Amino acid sequence: MTVPVTTEKPIAPSVDRPGLRAQLLRRKPIGQMISEAGHGEGGTGLVRSFGVLHLTMISVGATLGTGILVILGEAVPLAGPAIWISFVIAGVAALLSAVSYAEMAGLVPVAGSSYSYSYATMGEGMAWICGWCLVLEYAVSVAAVAVGAGQYVNETLAVFGQVLPDSVAQPPGDGGLVNIPAVAIVVLAMILLVRGARESAWINTAIVIIKIGILLFFCAVAFTAFNAGNFQPLLPMGAAGVSAAASRVFFSYIGFDAASTAGEEARNPKRDLPRAILLSMVIVTGIYVLVAVAAIGARPWGWFDGTEAALVQILEETTNQPWIALVFSVGAVLAIASIVLTVLYGQTRILLSMSRDGLVPKVFGRVSPRTGTPAAGTLIVGTAVALTAGLVPLGALADATSIGTLFAFALVNVAVIYLRRNRPDLKRSFRVPLYPITPVLGTLMCAYLMANLGADTWLVFGGWMLVGIAIFFGYGRRNSKVAALSELDYRELTAKASSQEL
């Protein structure tokens, strides 16, 4: 068992601060991370209440439904009938990274996810870049999913002969003023998270069960209208179209990353986190492929171009029963709510870890003694995400999420390789199979999918990185707690941690 590591004296600013290069390469010992786990700014701790079921449902809740319920209408025109292959490619890429996450989650069971893994292996500079990518990945993915809520709210109202006008159901770029349903769903999730993590987890578990049920129900109905001819030709847009669609839908697989952010609220993180991550990947990939095949079998791929809430429309046209569309639409809104809830949860926990290290303001690390949650940080993040969801179109959000996700996943694969080579003595509750082939393939797959994203997405990503660099030099570099240690104190801390991590 890992023994908590404490320093001889509190970390305080030193006159012997390292130079820029030395600071960027300073790693935070794993033992020190574990000793700090569960504590927020001011000493108030997070509550360990999650078992393997809750962790799996967090992972599935953050993942299942995003690519099918929200972005299917945009991804099918890119790949044609081979959209199911795009989901398989994205799923394989995610699985290669998921096994690396499983090893790292058991080894470093803290809230920071890939940010913390990077800090322990590649130093503060790469940790900041990874953390900044995670901010993009999580906050933007919540907004991207919430944007789709308006589509299904309208489908629900349509059963009663009503519809929301575009002015309050679409963002400015899509002919509206603000997407009110998207804003509302983020605000509700924010309120629930502020109230307590355990309560949020139970509600999420119930919603995930409903979500799986409605997707399986869709498959049962869609297969009654199955036409094998809809899969001909299989690759009308060529292999490039399949790759482009895979890159776009990859953001649908970030759920297991959200589970890893619960490391400080899991009862037995070393055992349960790897199990939850791998189990959720199997569940999600299987359902995604099944629903994609059922949808294409029911309607030709050209039908999806410009179609909103595609699955509801397939049900309506197949059954001619408005109540079926009503039930599915309500279920879809709940499904989107669970994604927003779990991914927003992950975002706040990553910022808590970064705040604990001094790289972002302390407000994100304050844990409320009443609720045991980072309430102030949740309110700030939730407000920013709600505004983004209400004002930015879906397509731009989805691509920006994918590139941040892919970069973070690649770093986790590299982290596994680093620790296997440099710390083979550490006890691992899960080991990546077929090492080093698996993490190397995971890194290459992430790089391949990133290369298939458009120039506009890369420009957005570059701009985001420049903003992150400015924030690091303006705030993070001066307030970093690891950099505040003198060289002697840092060496003592590292040596002590290394001797007690075994």
Q: Does this model's pTM top 0.75?
A: yes
Is 481 part of a structural domain of the chain? no
Q: Is residue 500 part of a domain?
A: no
Helix spans in 170-196 (H): 180-195
CA-to-CA distance for 288 and 294, rounded, in angstroms? 10
Q: Are 359 and 131 in contact (CB under 8 A)?
A: yes
The tokens describing 162, both together, are 């009503």
Domain count along the chain: 1
Exposure of 213 by Cβ count < 10 A (0-12 exposed, 13-18 middle, 19+ buried)? exposed
Structure tokens at 154: 């309208």
Burial 20-35 (b: 16+ CB within 10 A, else e): eeebbebbbbbbbbbb
496/349: higher pLDDT: 349
Min mean pLDDT across 322-331, 395-404, 445-454, 463-472 is at 395-404
Assign 393 a pLDDT band (cuts: 50, 70, 90).
low
Under a CB-based contact definition with an 8 Å cutoff, are residues 325 and 315 in contact?
yes
- 144 pLDDT band, cuts 50/70/90, is confident
CA 8 to chain centre: 37
pLDDT in tens, 48-71: 778 888 888 888 888 886 667 767
Residue (of 166, 139, 172, 143) closest to 154 by Cα position: 166
Which pair of structure tokens corresponds to residue 367? 């844990």
CA separation, residue 343 to residues 64, 140, 206 (Å): 12, 10, 16
Q: Which of 85-94, 308-317, 376-385 has the lowest mean pLDDT?
A: 308-317
Euclidean distance between CA atoms 33 and 432, whole angstroms: 22
Instruction: Please indicate, yes or no, if residue 164 is contained in any of the structural domains.
Output: yes
The predicted pLDDT at position 4 comes to: 41
Q: Which of 261, 490, 260, 484 is nearest to 359 (CA)?
A: 484
Minimal CA–CA distance to 405: which of 185, 161, 25, 140?
A: 140
Give a yes or no: residue 482 inside a domain.
no
Per-residue pLDDT tens for 42-52?
555 666 778 88
Lowest mean pLDDT among 105-109, 129-133, 206-210, 358-362: 105-109
| Whole-number Å distance between alpha carbons of 2 and 274 | 17
Distance CA 147, CA 495 (A): 49
Please state the three-class secondary structure of 430-465 as a single string. Answer: CCCCCCCHHHHHHHHHHHHHHHCCCHHHHHHHHHHH
More confident site: 249 or 289: 289
pLDDT value at residue 7 = 40
Which residue type sits at 63?
T
Q: What angle do CA 38, 206, 72 make, to 5 degrees?
A: 100
**Quick one: pLDDT at residue 14?**
46
Q: What percent of the chain has pLDDT over 90?
A: 14
The more confidently predicted of residues 221 and 308 is 221
The dihedral sign for the CA sequence 459, 402, 385, 356 = negative
Does residue 148 belong to any structural domain of this protein? yes
9 occurs within a structural domain: no
CATH of the domain at 271: 1.20.1740.10
Task: Using the predicted structure, report yes or no on whether residue 41 has a pLDDT greater than 80.
Answer: no
Mean pLDDT of the chain: 81
d(CA 270, CA 431): 12
Distance CA 364, CA 355 (A): 6
Rounded CA separation 221/308 (Å): 19
Find the angle CA(347)-CA(254)-CA(482) to the nearest 5 degrees: 45
Per DSSP, the three-state class of 451 is: helix
Residue 485 resides in a domain: no
Classify residue 385 by its DSSP letter. H
Q: What is the pLDDT of residues 223-262, one digit of tens each?
A: 999 999 999 888 888 888 898 888 778 767 767 777 888 7
In a domain, 363, yes or no: yes
Predicted pLDDT at 40? 52
Q: Report, as an integer, the average pLDDT of 19-45.
A: 74
Which of 290, 335, 332 has the alpha carbon at shortest distance from 311?
A: 332
pLDDT of the residue at 124: 92
> 501 pLDDT band (50/70/90 cuts)?
low
Radius of gyration of the chain (CA): 22
Q: Which domain holds residue 190?
A: 38-475
Q: What is the pLDDT confidence band of residue 471, given thresholds at 50, 70 and 90?
A: very high
The residue among 352, 455, 411 whose CA lies nearest residue 130 is: 411
As given in the structure block, the two tokens for residue 57 are 């449902």
- DSSP characters over 75-110: HHHHHGGGHHHHHHHHHHHHHHHHHHHHHHHHHS-S
Mean pLDDT over 474-488 rounds to 86
Q: Over 90: is that where the pLDDT of 470 sits?
A: yes
Q: So what's the pLDDT on residue 359?
A: 92
